[in-house]
Amino acid sequence: MNQPVSQPDDADLGLLAPVWAGTAVARRTSDRALAQDLLDVERTWLQVCSTAGLVDLGAEGVGGRGDAGGDGADGAGGAGGAAGAGSPWDASAYDLVSIAQRSAGGGNPLIPLLGDLRSALRAAGLDAASRGVHLGATSQDIIDTALMVMAHEVVELLLADLDRALAALATLAERHRDTPCIARSLGQHALPTTFGLRVAQWRAGLLAATHGLRRVGGSLPLQWGGAAGTLAGLELRTAPAGLDAFALSDDLAQRLGLAASLPWHTRRQTVTGLGFALADVVAAAGKIATDIAFATRPEVGELVEPSAPGRGGSSAMPHKRNPVLSIMIRSAALDAPAQVATLLTAAGLADHERPDGAWHAEWPSLRALLRLAGGVTPKLAELCSGLAVDETALRRNLEHSGAAVVTERIMAVVAPLVPATEGRTGKAAVQAAVDESLSGGTDLATALRALVPASALDDAALDDLLQPTRYLGLAPQLTDRLLSQENS
C-alpha cells in the first residue's frame, strides 16, 4: 500500500475534477503557484523602484537569488522561479492555509501575504526591502497582474498542445480526404460526405479558437493604477525625484512579459476576453469530442479512442471500453459557459473605481477556465493523434439507408423527367416513390424505373444516380481548401 502523503485538509487536489487534475496547468494554477506569482510581482516592482533610484536598498539589495544590488531584470519567471528555497520571496516559506483564512479580513489574499512578506524580509535582515515593497501599489494591482502572469504562461502551455492537435487533425483529414461516410443532420442520416471533410471542419473550428487564444494571450496587460486607478500614490513619490511614473510601470510590464497598459481596474474586458478565448477553445474541443463519443458507440463503431493502461474500463462491466478522453473533454465544454457567465456578470457589475464583490467573483471562475482549458488541450492532442478510423463501419453506416440518402439528387434529376399525370407533378410522383420504399414497399430503384422512361434515363444512369458514393458534392475539394486556407 502506498504511504500516506501529507496534504492540508482543505487543499483542492482535483478529486472531483479529473479533466484537469494532475496536468501541467493544474500545477501552474495551484494556490502555491498563485502565491509565488504575487510574490514575484512584488519583488519585480521592488527591483524596478530600486533601479530607478526610488527605493534605496543599499548593500542588502532585494534579496533572494544572487541579487546584490536590486537592479536585476530576472522578472517573475513563473511559480517558484524568482527566489531560492528559504528566501522571503519563495512561496514555500509561507503558511498558505493561514493566509487563506486571514484573507477574509481584507477580502483578498494579498493583504495577509504582504504582511507576512514584510515580516520575513525584516527577519532576513532586509529592512530596506521591507519598507520599500509595494510602493505606490494597491492589492488589485498585484493580484490582477499576478493573474495575467499566470494566464500568460498557461496560454503558452495550451498553445503547444493545440498545435499538436491541429497537426494531427490535418494528417487525419488528408488521409481520409476521399473516404465516404454518412453526414448526419438533426441526429438522422442526411447526405453522403467524406470523413476527411468532417475532420477538416473540426480542425477549422479548433484553429479559429487557437488564433483567438494566441491573440489574447500575446497581449495580456499589466494592471497598475494605485488605490483608485489614478497612480496618485506613485506620482507622489516619482514627481519629487523627477521620475516618470508611466515609465516605471512600463518597465515592470516588460520585466514580467506583459503588455504595457493604462489602469483597467473596472474595465474588465481583459478578463472577459481571456475567458471567451479559453471557453472558445474548450467549445471547439467539445464539438470534436461529441462527434467522436457518438462514433465510438458499438452500434456505430466508426471510431476508436487511443488506448492506455487503466483507461476506459468499468468497475462493474469489464467488457466496456468507455471513451474517457471524449467524456472528460465534453465535461469541460459543459462547465466552461457557466464560468464565462460569471465573468460577464462581474464585468457588468464592476462599479465605480473598485468593484465591491464583482472583482472578487472573477478569481475562481478565471482559474476554473484556465484549468478546464489546461485539462482539455493535452487530452485533445492525444485523442486526435491516436484516433482509429474503421472505414468498414463508415461504409456500412453510409449504406444503411440505401439510396434514400441521395433523395436530394434523385428529386433534382428525376422529377423533371417524370411526365405529369392527372395533375400530379413529377416531384409529387418521386416523393410518393420514396415514401413507398421507406415504408417497405417497392424498392426505390424499381419505383423510379416505373416512373421514368428508359429513353430519358437508361439503367446505367439510374444505377449511378442511386449510388451514395457518387454524390459527395465537393467534399474532397472543400477539405483541400479548408486545410490550405487555414495553413496559410
Q: Which residues are known to be catalytic?
A: 314, 354
Nearest to 323, CA basis, from 346, 354, 301, 352: 301
| 421, 424, 426, 430: CA torsion to nearest 10 | -120
From CA 327, how far away is CA 231, in angstroms rounded? 48
Q: Please check whether residue 482 is in contact with residue 204, taking contact to mean a CB–CB distance below 8 angstroms.
A: yes
Between helix 269-295 and helix 195-217 the angle, nearest 10°, is 160
3-state secondary structure of 321: coil
All 3 cell numbers of residue 268?
474588465
All 3 cell numbers of residue 248?
516605471
Could you tell me if residue 135 is left (phi over 0), alpha (psi between -120 and 50 degrees) or otherwise beta? beta
All 3 cell numbers of residue 344?
460577464
From CA 429, how far away is CA 414, in angstroms rounded? 10
Nearest to 330, CA basis, from 24, 18, 27: 18
From CA 43, how far away is CA 381, in angstroms rounded? 37
Alpha-carbon distance values, 292 to 30, 124, 327 (Å)? 31, 57, 10
